[in-house]
Amino acid sequence: MTEMLIESHGADVGYGGRAVLSGLDLQVRAGEIVTLFGPNGAGKTTTLLSLAGAIPLVAGEVVLFGRPTTAPMHRRVRQGMSFITDRRSLIFQLSVRDNLLLRGGSIDDALAYFPELGDHLGKLAGLLSGGQQQMLAVARSLASRPRLLLADELSLGLAPLIVERLLAAVRAAADEGLGVLLVEQHVRQALEIADRGYVLGGGGVTLTGDAATLRRQIAELESAYLGGNTAVGTTTEQEIR
């Protein structure tokens, strides 16, 4: 059986002891990409922050690499987790080369995913385009060879071709065994490279299923995700087979 990398059991996530999302049961195994969709305010980023250890759970449990954990994020990273936020987390005053080396990965491994960065190794990260900066953030993360990647809105504000490149790199890493939990606004493109997905809304999970099934419901999914209507399928969790 494929290794379970992270799972949550009855997790309530939120801030200051107040849950914005309740009863989350979520799983990510090695070699799969799991997407997390939902309208603005549904709790997608809060879920990632909670799973990453950046904020504590209100209730419930997170199991990371087979063991329950309440460890802070830096300790989870040392255990093999990587977290790419929607702010890219680059040091703009450092060169592309120095940014790539911050996580201990090799330049060659990073360039294997994004060869185009090779022409910019001596350039300050702050002088790159938005798409190049996101490539750098993803390349740095993947080159560090994590076991689990949590990624928040890789495609935010980027051109479709750049989005395609980013998602293809993540899929290639998953095919080598990386487990990925991906929050993504480009629903159709995300489902092309994903294995499974969860849809959040109304304070919980409204829909979950394999990517092929979710693609068949793409019109309803996009309406709910982009239009802010959380009534996808039913208002209670629904397992699609």
The lowest-confidence range among 90-104, 126-140, 224-238 is: 224-238
CB 23, CB 198: distance < 8 Å: no
Evaluate if pTM is beyond 0.85.
yes
- 167/123 same-domain check: no
What is the CATH number for 48?
3.40.50.300
- 164/228 same-domain check: yes
Residue 32 has what pLDDT? 98
- Is the per-residue pLDDT at 88 higher than 80? no
What's the start-to-end Cα distance of the chain, in Å? 20
Give the structural domain span for 41.
Answer: 1-80+147-241
Tell me the three-class secondary structure of the chain, residue by residue.
CCCEEEEEEEEEEEECCEEEEEEEEEEEECCCEEEEECCCCCCHHHHHHHHHCCCCCCEEEEEECCEEECCCHHHHHHHCEEEECCCCCCCCCCEHHHHHHCCCCCHHHHHHHCHHHHHHCCCEHHHCCHHHHHHHHHHHHHHCCCCEEEEECCCCCCCHHHHHHHHHHHHHHHHCCCEEEEECCCHHHHHHHCCEEEEEECCEEEEEEEHHHHHHCHHHHHHHHHHCCCCCCCCCCCECC
- 123/165 same-domain check: no
Last residue of a domain, one of 101, 128, 145: 145
- 95/105 same-domain check: yes
Last residue of a domain, one of 145, 172, 190: 145
- 156/222 same-domain check: yes
- 67/91 same-domain check: no
- 234/151 same-domain check: yes
Residue 227 has what pLDDT? 56
In this predicted model, which residue has the larger pLDDT, 154 or 240?
154
Q: How many domains does the chain have?
A: 2
Neighbours of 30 (CB within 10 A): 15
Residue-wise pLDDT for 35-64, tens only, equals 999 888 899 999 999 999 999 999 999 999
The whole-angstrom separation of Cα 177 and Cα 131 is 25
Q: What is the mean pLDDT of the chain?
A: 90
- Is the per-residue pLDDT at 113 higher than 60? yes
- 102/183 same-domain check: no
- 92/15 same-domain check: no
- What percentage of the chain carries pLDDT values higher than 70? 93
Residue 224 has what pLDDT? 63
Smallest CA-to-CA distance from 184 within 202, 166, 205 is with 166
Average pLDDT over residues 23-30: 97
Residue 237 has what pLDDT? 33
Residue 59 has what pLDDT? 97
If 0-12 CB within 10 Å is exposed, 13-18 middle and 19+ buried, where does residue 80 land? middle
- 1/43 same-domain check: yes
Residue-wise pLDDT for 182-233, tens only, equals 999 888 999 999 999 999 988 999 889 999 999 998 887 777 665 544 333 3
The whole-angstrom separation of Cα 166 and Cα 155 is 8
- 141/151 same-domain check: no
Residue 218 has what pLDDT? 87
Residue 109 has what pLDDT? 96
Last residue of a domain, one of 114, 145, 176: 145
- 73/91 same-domain check: no
Residue 233 has what pLDDT? 36
